[in-house]
Amino acid sequence: MKAVVLKRAGVVAAEEVPIPRLKADTDVLIKVHVAGLCGSDLHYYRGDADDGSFVMGHEVVGTIVEAGSEVKQFQVGDHVISPFSVSCGSCFYCDKGYTSRCTSNFCLTGGQAEFFRLPLADSMLFPFPEELPEDVALLMTDILPTGYSCAYNARRLLDEDADAPWSLADLKAGRVERKGVAIVIGCGPVGLCAISSATTLFETVFATDLNASRLAVAEKHGAIALSASELKDAVLAATDGRGADAVLEVVGHGSALNAAFEYVRPYGAVSSVGVHNLKFEIDGDTLYSKNVRMQFGRCSVRTFFPLALDVLKNNLELFKSFVEHKVGIEEAEEYYKLFNEGKINKTVFVMD
């Protein structure tokens, strides 16, 4: 089969490789229809990988062509999609819905190929939501649930002391009303997903980005998008001088987080899904004096999949524009290069 193989740092090639075989009774083999090229593929591309070449990719839509004997929820012929993060469905963390920290978690690879072996199929796959185009649906493997979880965590922290606390089931049943003023810091793809999600949970959503060209599209997603210099006064005016009830940080940089602490009101919530991998300085006095509450970390995609799916369906035309390039797998080398250089946005590999 054809596959995108990482040869060494900075070099991928479309090559013929053997079709993978099932390794466990809980595996399935998927005939891939579309596979996304994701920002996190670039970590490997830039050299952050073990030795040895391997097939890239973890965003996949396809059809099951072989299923292990222990796969009970799916069968050959099923049209399926899967979160990017491996979860077993039964460990301490999966039990609580914290699938991103499943004790069996590891990084999926192998998706940018004609066939893809997926482990733990029963606790990984969702039936494909047939009302969606396959390329757009790839947003459901990661960034739409990630944006949603950022908004959810903020609202959750904010309401934790409510007289009548709500559960995820209440939210799914539509029993949680929009409330409060949120700011989204960062208007890249994940930020836009967070904005569309936040408009379902907060009454007013502001957004900001250092890159002014991103503000117009943030407005289309439902935010009042302002430059950093305009934002603070506008938020104070909207909150009787208190500051934002919640700040959603999707940048993954200490400066964005410190801006969040500046914008948030006392006892407000700061929710961060930005991938932080550096040390940074924070001001203990601000955290203490504002009684800040926070949630960090990687989204448990599986838990937020249904709610994020509603956001995608309700904003389909907007999200269609996220997919910039649809190309064949043989063009992988060029598109990895362009993506790595920041010259293009989302690319989807379409199989024959």
Does residue 130 bind its own copies (CB under 8 A)?
no
Q: Which of 50, 51, 130, 163 binds its own copies (CB under 8 A)?
A: 163
Q: Which of 43, 79, 242, 337 binds its own copies (CB under 8 A)?
A: 242
Residues 189/142, Cβ–Cβ less than 8 Å: no
As given in the structure block, the two tokens for residue 5 are 């193989």
171 sits in the region (left: phi over 0; alpha: psi -120 to 50; else beta) called alpha
Residues 224/233, Cβ–Cβ less than 8 Å: no
User: In angstroms, rounded to a whole number, what is the distance separating the alpha carbons of residues 278 and 154?
Assistant: 23
- 99 vs 347, which CB is nearer to its own copies? 99
Residues 254/234, Cβ–Cβ less than 8 Å: no
Stretch that binds its own copies, among 35-43, 74-82, 130-138, 252-260 (CB under 8 A): 252-260
Q: Which of 94, 292, 307, 309 binds its own copies (CB under 8 A)?
A: 292
Q: Where are the alpha helices (DSSP H) in 8-70?
A: 41-45
3-state secondary structure 74-125: CCCCCEEECCCECCCCCCHHHHCCCHHHCCCCCECCCCCECEEEECCHHHCC
Q: Which of 39, 89, 129, 252 binds its own copies (CB under 8 A)?
A: 252
Q: Which of 7, 72, 96, 172 binds its own copies (CB under 8 A)?
A: 96
Taking the alpha carbons at both ends of the chain, their separation in whole angstroms is 11
Does residue 73 bind its own copies (CB under 8 A)?
no
- Pairing label, strands 79-81, 54-55: unpaired
Q: Which of 165, 178, 233, 324 binds its own copies (CB under 8 A)?
A: 165
- 292 vs 311, which CB is nearer to its own copies? 292
State whether residue 316 is helix, strand or coil.
Answer: helix
Does residue 284 bind its own copies (CB under 8 A)?
yes
Stretch that binds its own copies, among 98-106, 117-125, 129-137, 311-319 (CB under 8 A): 98-106
Q: Which of 77, 169, 211, 213 binds its own copies (CB under 8 A)?
A: 169
- 68 vs 268, which CB is nearer to its own copies? 268
Q: Which of 50, 130, 177, 281 binds its own copies (CB under 8 A)?
A: 281
State whether residue 6 is helix, strand or coil.
Answer: strand
Residues 68/26, Cβ–Cβ less than 8 Å: yes
Does residue 282 bind its own copies (CB under 8 A)?
yes
Residues 74/126, Cβ–Cβ less than 8 Å: no
State whether residue 167 is helix, strand or coil.
Answer: coil
Does residue 221 bind its own copies (CB under 8 A)?
no
- 136 vs 259, which CB is nearer to its own copies? 259
Stretch that binds its own copies, among 163-171, 177-185, 321-329, 337-345 (CB under 8 A): 163-171
- 130 vs 285, which CB is nearer to its own copies? 285
Does residue 288 bind its own copies (CB under 8 A)?
yes
- 109 vs 239, which CB is nearer to its own copies? 239
Give ∠ CA 44-50-52 in degrees, rounded to 5: 100
Torsions phi, psi of 284, nearest 5?
A: -55, -35
Which helix H or strand E contains 54, and what residues bound it?
strand 54-55
The residue ranges that bind its own copies (CB under 8 A) are 92-93, 96-98, 100-101, 156-157, 160-169, 240, 242, 252, 254, 257, 266-267, 272, 274-285, 287-298
